[in-house]
Structure 1
């Protein structure tokens, strides 16, 4: 049975390909880890932003609720506390003549927001689709959020960045409650309606800058770790180049060998058949092909078991190897079928070879599970490539078909015989 030498170039470059593949895996693995850390960190920071915004919103809502449930807060009227022009009768006069003016929830929200703005912490803004106070008019973010609230959204948030600042914006709806009805019932609101919303805005530039520095740190650490690991891998692979060459030969053999019988497999046979046909046509050499099928093989499996059937196939493969030339190609074609490719072999010589193999199989004794002996036979079909045959693209398929047809003729004629194809 012919051996196919592994190309030297493949041996030479195998370890390089292995190194590249391992390097890619290592790099992708490390990149995945660092990206995962970065994404997880970003997610945690984003969740912290959202938690902070919700807390601010909840605090101002609770403060407004306290104001509304007490009917507003009255403070001494003066230049710093003028009357709210958008309220009806906002002022009251005490017995001593002091005038007090009402700070309703909306006005209180704006004033608290101004205190927060001056301290540089955050900004509240109360707004609605059609505000009475122009100062409460929504901006683009708030207008979009209000539209979403009408569709059922519970909150809206976004991180806005420019060249110098990073701003986090959050907004949630305000629903009409019992304490709101004294002021808003006349506007047509009912309990549970969305009458507007409060946005919370705060600067997260410092945190984002630190996050950016962390990302650069992750990238640098990832590059350093990757280079270190790649250096170690390159060192190890360079020492294992010889072993990898042997491993490549083993893998190559496995890819072209039938696992059970250890002869060539069908895929490799077809590749060699194309090569031998091309060589025969180029140099004007004859070639022949044997198609072999074990007679009554299903009966062997049924009577003695599949393990015995496998033993028969392996033993016949050994017979083929010991009764053919080193240049001949023996392959398992499928199931109990074998093919034998005979380069530089004329039809008559191929017939003699087939009959020699047939007789060797017939003489071979096999042992059954109960230790009794039994014999098997095989049917052979022979096809040959003649120099007068036209060189067509399907010549390989035609040779196989002719040998296969001849083999079935041998079976129909009583099995355990050789039939030569009538021609291409």
Structure 2
């Protein structure tokens, strides 16, 4: 039994929903991967920039420390480092020079960078000699984490309308540091403090937001396009399946040679018509007929000629059918015609017209010498007089018996069941 159309629609709907979910998951995973990869690349770029700045500062400080600090001419307004012992010296030419140690040099470079708007960095410690080097909240948490073995700390923070990227890594005590910090109890290798880097990433954050919007738009367009294609294909598949199903149904109920309805269809339809006739108290008639001397035609002219005879009878019978009549090939050279709401007299008259039409048929393909006739049997079921409702085989047997009696009487005539 073929699936119903509603079953096909349900299967196609489930298929469309399932493939849509697969596409949704695939596209979501793809674009999520693109976004996360972009975010990762951006984070790596920011981190690399911060590390480069940090390393530049470290190298600069190391150069200063290797020379034991750098003396510069003390100009008007310049304040000597109060945390150094004897920071000033007077040269033989009478000029005064003051010592810039690594910490002071770092702070002054940071001030210049801050004024230029490029970046900021801050040297700090949990125990700073200079109160100006005291840590803020981010720096304090970073310094505490360094004491636990962490190598770096990163944070994005909002400050007003701007977003800043903050990076901090530890400073370790080296031998050159002890000249200033030995009194604090540090030993070589200890975490003495750290340097925090800070720079504005607002433009980059805006670009990232724009990129999110573009990705969301592209995701929506891609998803809509793919789903549109899927539903278009499903719609096309639905039409093709419907056409294929209709073809299969037609093949399942159609005789291949004559293109009339086949025996299975006739039996099912006759049962339906008997039930309908009983319900509405309407008459129902059947005409059973077959080709006369069909075996002789096959034996004399061949089976191809016999096939042409059957097709000719089929075409002729179709020409005599009314819109409500059901005609089919019952088997071999036998045919059955179901006549809903038809009295015995009407059925007999139709059988006679059909007999005459077949008798006068001379257009047998390639065999004009063949003359064909057919013998008919008519049976009628009338709910007003027939009780109880008969089985379909009863009516067919009655019509078949009437046909056989007509054959005994000489063929090419109509027999009527009592």
CA distance in 2, matches of 1:44, 1:80: 46
SS at match of 2:193: strand
Rate the CA distance shift 1:162–1:33 in 2: closer, same or farther, 3 A: farther
The residue number in structure 2 matching 1:158 is 155
Deviation at 1:243, TM superposition (A): 5.8
CA distance in 1, matches of 2:215, 2:91: 66
1:213 equivalent to 2:210? Answer yes
Deviation at 1:162, TM superposition (A): 5.8
Deviation at 1:11, TM superposition (A): 2.6
The residue number in structure 1 matching 2:108 is 111
CA distance in 1, matches of 2:38, 2:200: 19
Instruction: Give CA-to-partner distance per residue, 1:344-392, whole Å, 9 cap, x none.
Output: xxxxxxxxxxxxxxxxxxxxxxxxxxxxxxxxxxxxxxxxxxxxxxxxx
The residue number in structure 2 matching 1:38 is 35
Q: Out of 198, 201, 206, which is 1:201 matched to?
A: 198
The 5-angstrom pairing of residues 231-310 of structure 1 reads: 231-241=228-238
The residue number in structure 2 matching 1:283 is none
Deviation at 1:6, TM superposition (A): 4.7
Bigger radius of gyration among the two:
2
Larger RCO, structure (CA 8 Å, separation 6 or more) = 1
Deviation at 1:161, TM superposition (A): 3.6
Instruction: Give CA-to-partner distance per residue, 1:323-345, whole Å, 9 cap, x none.
Output: xxxxxxxxxxxxxxxxxxxxxxx
Q: Out of 7, 11, 14, which is 1:10 matched to?
A: 7
Deviation at 1:154, TM superposition (A): 0.7
SS at match of 2:86: coil
CA distance in 1, matches of 2:215, 2:136: 38
Unmatched segments (≥5 aa) in structure 1: 249-424
Q: Out of 64, 67, 70, which is 2:67 matched to?
A: 70
Rate the CA distance shift 1:79–1:163 in 2: closer, same or farther, 3 A: closer
The residue number in structure 1 matching 2:96 is 99
Rate the CA distance shift 1:159–1:180 in 2: closer, same or farther, 3 A: same
The residue number in structure 2 matching 1:20 is 17
CA distance in 2, matches of 1:124, 1:244: 71
1:228 equivalent to 2:225? Answer yes
Q: Out of 94, 115, 120, which is 1:123 matched to?
A: 120
Contact 1:159 1:168 in 2 (8 A): yes
Rate the CA distance shift 1:108–1:163 in 2: closer, same or farther, 3 A: closer
Contact 1:167 1:205 in 2 (8 A): yes
The residue number in structure 2 matching 1:179 is 176
Q: Out of 181, 186, 189, which is 1:189 matched to?
A: 186
CA distance in 1, matches of 2:215, 2:127: 48
Instruction: Give CA-to-partner distance per residue, 1:184-240, whole Å, 9 cap, x none.
Output: 223221111111000000111111111211111111111111111111111110111
Deviation at 1:75, TM superposition (A): 1.3
Instruction: Give CA-to-partner distance per residue, 1:25-73, whole Å, 9 cap, x none.
Output: 1122112111111110110010010011001000001101111111111
TM-score by length of 1: 0.55
SS at match of 2:186: coil
SS at match of 1:240: helix
Deviation at 1:183, TM superposition (A): 1.8
SS at match of 1:159: strand
Contact 1:116 1:123 in 2 (8 A): yes
Q: CA RMSD in A?
A: 2.1
CA distance in 1, matches of 2:175, 2:61: 13
Q: After the TM superposition, which parts of structure 1 deviate over 6 Å for at least 4 consecutive aligned residues?
A: 245-248
Contact 1:15 1:245 in 2 (8 A): no
CA distance in 2, matches of 1:228, 1:205: 34
What count of residue pairs does the alignment treat as equivalent?
245
The residue number in structure 1 matching 2:130 is 133
TM-score by length of 2: 0.56
Contact 1:75 1:81 in 2 (8 A): no
